Structures are given as C-alpha cells and as structure tokens.
Chain A
Amino acid sequence: MVPLKRVEKEMKECVKCGVCRAHCPVFTELGREPAVARGKVALARAILSGRIKPDARTYADMSKCLLCGNCVQKCPNDVPTDEIVVAARETLAQLRGLTSFHKALRQILKNRIIMRIGAFIAAIVSPLVMRKVPGSSGLRLRFPLPFISGGRFIPKIASKPFMSRHPVIIPGEAEKPRILFFAGCMINFIYPEVGDAAVALLGGVGCTVIIPEEQQCCGLPAMSGGDVATFRELAEKNLAALEKYQADYIVTACASCGGALHGYYPAVIGKAYPELAGRCRAVAAKAVDAVSLLKILGFKPGKGVADAGIRMTYHDPCHLRRRNSTKEPRELLRGVPGGVFVEMEGADACCGLGGTFNLYHYGTSMAINARKSAAILKSGAEIVLTGCPGCMLQLNDGLQQKGIKTRVAHILELLARTVR
C-alpha cells in the first residue's frame, strides 16, 4: 500500500483556511505556499492522486518541514501534517529510493554494535572535535561531509558513552516508582552528563532507575527521512527492550526521543503496522519526560547553585510543547533559590533544528534559529535551559556563531547542581 493512503482521511480534513500560515517557522522564512502545511497537504494529495510526479522538486518540497508540529497544535481541525509529511516522504522514498544521506544514516542507526561503541559516529565526526574553536582559527576547515559547512558548532563525542557509565539497575526505595530510562543517541554519545543528571535526580527522589541494556536509537531520524521501515525495526527492538522490565514510567530526558515514544510510535508505527499498535500505545502511555516526572514526584530544587542571582530562561523543545509539558520546567526554574527566571519572546518557537532538516536546509534552519538567538539575547539571561539535547546543539550553534555568550544547558543539569 502507498504509505500516503494511511493518512488519506486526515488529508481531506484540511479546509485550506490558512491558519498554518501564522504558525510555520519554515513558511515564515520562505514565504511561499508549498512550504506551509496547507500547501504540503495539497501536494501530498497530489502525490497520492498522481497529479504530480515524485521528482526532485516534490522531494524538495516535502523536505521543507521541521516536523515541529506547531501547525498541528494550531489547526482548527487537528490535521496531523507531520504524519502526512512523514507518509509523503516514505511514499517518495519508495518511489524514488532513499537519498544517499539517509541510506548512510540507516546503516548507522541499524547497526546496534556500531551504535553501542559509537565508533562509527566518532569516526565520522572526529575531525570535527573542535568545540569552541575561535572564528579566526585555521582549524575551521571545510568539513569533509557534504552537509556540514564551515563555521558550525560541532559537539565532541563523549569519551565514555552514558550507557557504559551506569549499571543496568540502580535500586531505589521500595515504595517509590520503578522507572525505565530511555537515553537516546544524543545523551548516550554526546551529552552523557545530561543522562547522569537524570539518573541522579530520579534516584534522589527514591526511584529505582533501570537503563534497559538493549535500547536503541528511538528511530526519529529514520522516520523523519521517510524510512518508516527502519523506524519500525528500531521501535520493535526498543519495545522489546522496554517490555523486559516491569516499571511505572518510561522516562526520557531527550524531548525528541520522548516525542517518538509518546507520539510517533502510536501515531506512525501504530498506523503503518497495526499489529504493533497495542504495544506502541502501552509504551506511550507510560512515557513521561524526566522534568515532568520530577515535578509529579514532588522534587524541589535545592540551594546548591554556585552562582546565585543567575538569570535563567527556558526554550521549549517542540516535542515537549506538543505534550503540553511546558509548565513544569518553568515551575521548577522559578523555584531555584537565588535564581531569576525570565521568559524570552517566542520561547515555544522551534529552534530550527528539525533533526535532519538542519542538514538539508542549513541556511533556513539557521535563519529560524537567528530569531531564537535574538530572543535569548534580548531576555538578558546568562543561561538558557531546555529539555532536548538536539535543541542544545542548535542553540549553541546559533549563539556561538553570533558571538553571544549565553550558556546553554539541559535543565536537568542545572537542577542536579542545585541538590549536589
């Protein structure tokens, strides 16, 4: 079956009212109708009906979506344009073949041993281990990958992945919840300290923390590239890894992984592979963001922040905004003794990363990001907190390129410091 068939009914629910024109970061930059949700839905219908060819132009149109979901949240008819775009990309990939980048990505993501060691990614990125290289430095090479141009902020690969730093089961108090921690690639390989903070904080409120050893990449990059088959393979392995343990919650500290487990597993895999729908729903029902769970469990920030009087602001990752997990981080930050929380303009606007969108449309991605950097600067905050390692990467890239000194950190890192 053509993947677009599975969203045929949803596509018909778009009444072309134009509300999405006010809420699409990509359209705001590009200004043309094929970039906005209403246009995407019209084009997806045209692919399905054969009115347009699955040619390079159609592929380019469908690639211009961050999957940020803002249009979905604002749509009067709840048209799931993100799911429609994924189905369109999947359809195009079937008709056209996966693009070379996604073929490479697919191999990386599927190979569990490679993922575990991180060697392959490290091998790709090692020439780029140049965090905070000054702009004047000759080390800012044209990077050897076609999609990474000079001048980008590239994080370094952790010397020891998160998963190797902790035992599988870290016992807590008997009456307190048992939680499964789903780390995801960014935390495992690039920001393990975020995972460490999550483990410490959840342990600190008494949870038994289990880090299922067979967990994989959540699959979101594959899904966003239209490779729903790989997404399914990864999801199935994750379902099995998570089902192995009894637990009250499945916790993520990466908003994107959380978005996959909580949203896209049931919405995309559940629809494309109905035989997995029940298992996807079961995982989704237990999925919760670490910050929200801390709030539920009554966590209160301690007094341990070294730099009292610090001005903090918060960037909402799209995948938390979509789950309405926007209040808890602010409540916790407001509770940091001695800290000052300031709201920035457009805090819930996408940072422009959009997973692989950033690789294909770096210019547009950074134009979207420039608005974010400007808002951060205007807020006067010394540190911007967020709930997604992907956003951290993008926020850092934007701020560093503009020479803005605001630090970027995961909110869990800050909260962990307050109780240390």
Chain B
Amino acid sequence: MLASHIISQLESIVGKGNIALEQQDLICYSYDATQMEFLPDAVVYPANAAEVSLVIEMANAETIPVFPRGAGSGFSGGSLPKGGGIVLVTTRMNKIIRIDTDNLIAVVEPGVITGDLQQEVEKLGLFYPPDPASLKFSTLGGNVAECAGGPRAVKYGVTRDYVLGLEVVLPTGDIIKTGGETMKGVVGYDLTRLICGSEGTLGVITSITLKLLPLPETKKTMLALFSSIDGAARAVSAIISGKIIPSTLEFMDRTAIQCVMTHSQMDIPEAAGALLIIEVDGDHDLVARQSERIHELIRHLDLISFRSARDEAEAEELWAARRRVSPSLRRVNPHKINEDIVVPRSKVPEIISRIDAIREKYSIPVVNFGHAGDGNIHVNIMIDKEIPGEEEKAGLALRELIEATLELGGTISGEHGVGLSKAPYIAMELNPSQIATMQAIKKALDPNNILNPGKIFPAD
C-alpha cells in the first residue's frame, strides 16, 4: 500500500484517470509471459517524458521502486514488480513522431507497437528489420530495453543495431538524450548502447530514434523438412559456411511442429523430425540464385522436402505458425523453463546433440526451436510443477544446459534478457569483476536502487 500523500502526488502528475489502484488493476499488471506474478501497489500511465520524470523523481525521493512496463510480453520477468511498488506503463506514449525518408530514420515514442511501425515504414518503401515473435503486440520501448532480436537477426542484427539515439529518464528523474540522428558519433561514452538491453534498470526510455533500411525488392520463403533434427542442424551450418546469409534461418523440432500444427493449414508429414524456415531477400536475381544454392547445400542432409511459399499469404501462414510456437508449448506441459541460449553458429549441431543427451539423461520433455541461423536456440524444458521432483529435475537439466552452452563458447541469453528468470545463473557466465563493473554502473545511475530493482543481478 502506498501512503496517501504518494498517491495524491501521483494523481497530480498523471491525472486521476491515469493511475490505477484497485485490486483488479493490480492483478492485471502482476504478470508477464513468464507466468510469474507479483502484485504492484499502483499502476501509472504517464503521457510524456515530463510526467515520467516527475514520477521517477518523486519515487526516488521517497525510495519507492518503479517498474517500467510496455506490453508485458517479456520472457524473463523483466517488467514484474517483485517486492511491490509502482508499475509505470508506457503504452499511452504511442505516437510515431516522424518518419524521415531523406535520412532513413524514424522517431517514435516507446509505446508504439513494433509491427505498427514496420507497416508504416513499409508503406514508404522502408524497412525496420527487428522482428521478435511478439512484434504484433510488443512495444518498441520494451524491444529496446530488452534488445529484442527475432528471425531476421541472422542477416540484419538485433534492435541495438538500429537504435541511433534515445531520450531517457534516469533513476533520479533527470532527462537525458543519448546518441542522435547521425549515422556516426563518438563523442563521449556510447550511452545508447548501454541503455539498449539494460532491462529497464538504468532509465525509462521516452523517445527512440531508429535507423531504417530500404525495403528489399523481394523475398522468398522456403520450407525445408528433415527426417532428423541432426540433418536440420547440419543444414544450418552448411548454409552459413557456404557463405550465404539468409534473411531468416529458423528451426523447429518435431514437438514444436506438432504444437503449432493444430492451428495450421500446413501439410507436414509425420516423418518430419525438424524443419527450417529459410527466407532470402534482395533483388529478384539474387533471391533466385541464393535459394537454388541453399537447396544444393542442404539436399544431402536428411532432407525430405524443400519448397517455396506460393505467395505472400502462404509465407505469412508459415510465419504465423512460427510465432505461435512458444505459447503453444503449453500443450506439452503446463510449465516452461524458457531458455534462449546462443552458441557460435558452427556449434549448432553439437549443442543440439548435447541437448538431446540431457533430455535423455533426465527423461524430461525438451522442445527446441528458434533462430538457428545466428546460433540462438530457444530451449524449452517443459514440466508439470505439480508432480513432485519435476522442478528439481528440470533445475539440474538446466544447469547442464548452461554448462554445455558456455563450454561451446556461447551465452545464456540471446534476446530475452536476464530479468528474474536468469539472474541466478549469470555468475556462471560472468566473472565477479564483470558483475562488479555492471553493478558499479547501476549504483552510479541509480544510487537508491529504485528503478526495476531485483533484476539481472542475483539477490545477495
């Protein structure tokens, strides 16, 4: 419960209609896609940077935790109000300020839905590549804070690669600008990159300047089915080492395929042990050449079938199915330990076989899918926590997965962030001085630890 003078201050900042305090509201802002739940004390919906600044300034003075939140679709608990406090929802700040077709940039507020921006820029022949599976509902503010990736990262990189500048409200309430609208800039530290992926712990993003690309002339979406998961994994390595970088190179194992098939018109034979969704883009000649070359590179690798989507609609159907995978794994088991490990691309076959070995050792359902082309695999350990011993068993399997990933030179999170879910494991990847450096930055910017506390770093 917040003290009444705090509530009246919040009301005077954002207006009575933009603060929510009833139990019904608190429940609805207690969760994200991890299914963890922590009740906040209040939810505020500020309209602009000035209001965000006043909220944060007050919270800092009163040492009340503030938890920035976009669509609440994160996979690591990054927006969850653990320990209580104020949830600060950015979705009212949802205007595309401008799309500059001369400089190929867009300036947006943080609550803009990623897919909405993509539609708007594509109407102008421009392209904003980052495409997390949540693109139809997640916000750009959340995407920047988590440094979201997506299938196209294999060719086009992740959110960070498109952020030129930001406006950020610091944990003290100060408003700063980082970067700018230029393609280059080396004056001072790169605060833009620091904020990007900082998971809402260093500042609240209130404006984003994004780099855009020309929209590729055409693209071709291909579906390759393999009889074995190993075949698909080796195909990924073969394509990359064949010096072709497709715009997407997505992977789904047998269970992932089955989970989305109930919703799909796709005709996939029982024998398919894994599939790849491969997209190439560019001008017509290049696309034709690359798709042929890809077929050649993978045809001897347990390939059952290889075909191109007939039209945009069929390609979209394929992508819709791909985007449904993660939530639909509920069909396997009620609880999901959702990892997004990354290994060097040549190690994809090896990590896949290591995951197989872990699955067998613990006899526990593990579903793999993801952005194999950039080495980023979503490994989902599916359990029913109500069965005694399952959670412990999954914990052991997870630890082995992390060890294997790190041994192969990988990282434990490619795009979901650490948040709450992975905080217990960061010390396996980062050494004490790395963690101490990060904590020093956090402390310098947020001396009272009021902004999204309890995230990234394990509790002492």
- Selecting from A27-35, A90-98, A135-143, A246-254, the interface stretch reads A27-35
CA distance A13 to B335 in the complex (A): 10
Minimum CB–CB distance from A317 to chain B (whole Å) comes to 22
Minimum CB–CB distance from A149 to chain B (whole Å) comes to 22
Residue B268 at the A interface, CB < 8 A?
Answer: no
- Selecting from A18-26, A102-110, A190-198, the interface stretch reads A18-26
Contact of A33 among B29, B92, B325, B328 (CB under 8 A): B29
Residue A295 at the B interface, CB < 8 A?
Answer: no
| Interface pair B326/A52, CB less than 8 Å apart | no
Minimum CB–CB distance from A25 to chain B (whole Å) comes to 14
Chain A residues positioned under 8 Å from B24 (CB to CB): 34, 43, 46, 52, 57-58, 61
CA distance A22 to B135 in the complex (A): 9
Contact of A15 among B30, B91, B137, B330 (CB under 8 A): B330
CB under 8 Å from chain B, chain A span 382-412: none
| Interface pair B136/A43, CB less than 8 Å apart | no
CA distance A78 to B324 in the complex (A): 11
| Interface pair B27/A31, CB less than 8 Å apart | no
Residue B20 at the A interface, CB < 8 A?
Answer: yes
Given contact pairs A12-B334, A31-B91, A17 touches B28 in the complex (Cβ within 8 A): no
Residue of A nearest to B94 (CB): A31
What string of 1s and 0s marks CB contacts (under 8 Å) between B113-151 and chain A? 101000000000000000000101110000000000000
Residue B73 at the A interface, CB < 8 A?
Answer: yes
- Of the listed residues B23, B115, B327, the one surrounded by the most CB atoms of chain A closer than 10 A to its CB is B327
Chain B residues positioned under 8 Å from A61 (CB to CB): 24
Residue A76 at the B interface, CB < 8 A?
Answer: yes
Given contact pairs A13-B330, A15-B330, A22 touches B136 in the complex (Cβ within 8 A): yes
Contact of A76 among B20, B28, B30, B263 (CB under 8 A): B263
| Interface pair A34/B28, CB less than 8 Å apart | yes
| Interface pair A77/B328, CB less than 8 Å apart | yes
Chain B residues positioned under 8 Å from A33 (CB to CB): 25, 28-29, 72
CA distance A18 to B133 in the complex (A): 11
CB under 8 Å from chain A, chain B span 131-179: 134, 136-138
CA distance A21 to B328 in the complex (A): 16
Minimum CB–CB distance from B91 to chain A (whole Å) comes to 6
Residue B33 at the A interface, CB < 8 A?
Answer: yes
CA distance A39 to B136 in the complex (A): 18
| Interface pair A18/B330, CB less than 8 Å apart | no
Chain B residues positioned under 8 Å from A332 (CB to CB): none
Residue of A nearest to B75 (CB): A17
What string of 1s and 0s marks CB contacts (under 8 Å) between A60-79 and chain B? 01000000000000011110
Minimum CB–CB distance from B203 to chain A (whole Å) comes to 23
What string of 1s and 0s marks CB contacts (under 8 Å) between B164-197 and chain A? 0000000000000000000000000000000000
Minimum CB–CB distance from B352 to chain A (whole Å) comes to 24
| Interface pair B27/A52, CB less than 8 Å apart | yes
| Interface pair B327/A19, CB less than 8 Å apart | yes
Chain A residues positioned under 8 Å from B27 (CB to CB): 42-43, 46, 51-52
Contact of A32 among B20, B33, B71, B136 (CB under 8 A): B20
CA distance A351 to B326 in the complex (A): 31
| Interface pair B71/A42, CB less than 8 Å apart | no
Residue B285 at the A interface, CB < 8 A?
Answer: no
What string of 1s and 0s marks CB contacts (under 8 Å) between A125-167 and chain B? 0000000000000000000000000000000000000000000
Residue of A nearest to B72 (CB): A18
Chain A residues positioned under 8 Å from B262 (CB to CB): 78
Residue of B nearest to A27 (CB): B137
What string of 1s and 0s marks CB contacts (under 8 Å) between A369-383 and chain B? 000000000000000
CA distance A22 to B91 in the complex (A): 13
CA distance A290 to B22 in the complex (A): 47
Chain B residues positioned under 8 Å from A21 (CB to CB): 71, 73, 137
| Interface pair B31/A76, CB less than 8 Å apart | no
Chain A residues positioned under 8 Å from B324 (CB to CB): 19, 76
Chain B residues positioned under 8 Å from A12 (CB to CB): 334
| Interface pair B327/A15, CB less than 8 Å apart | yes
Residue B446 at the A interface, CB < 8 A?
Answer: no
Residue A327 at the B interface, CB < 8 A?
Answer: no
Residue B339 at the A interface, CB < 8 A?
Answer: no
Given contact pairs A51-B27, A77-B331, A19 touches B137 in the complex (Cβ within 8 A): yes
CB under 8 Å from chain A, chain B span 6-39: 20, 22-25, 27-33, 35
Can you list 13 A-B pairs, Cβ within 8 angstroms, ordered by A? Answer: A15-B35, A15-B330, A16-B72, A18-B32, A19-B324, A19-B327, A21-B71, A22-B115, A22-B137, A46-B23, A51-B27, A57-B22, A76-B326
Shortest 10 CB-CB distances between A and B: which pairs? A18-B73, A33-B28, A76-B327, A17-B327, A22-B136, A21-B137, A76-B328, A76-B324, A39-B28, A22-B137
Starting from the known contacts A46-B23, A78-B262, 11 additional A-B residue pairs (CB-CB under 8 Å) come to A15-B33, A16-B33, A17-B326, A18-B71, A18-B137, A31-B91, A38-B31, A51-B23, A75-B327, A76-B328, A77-B331
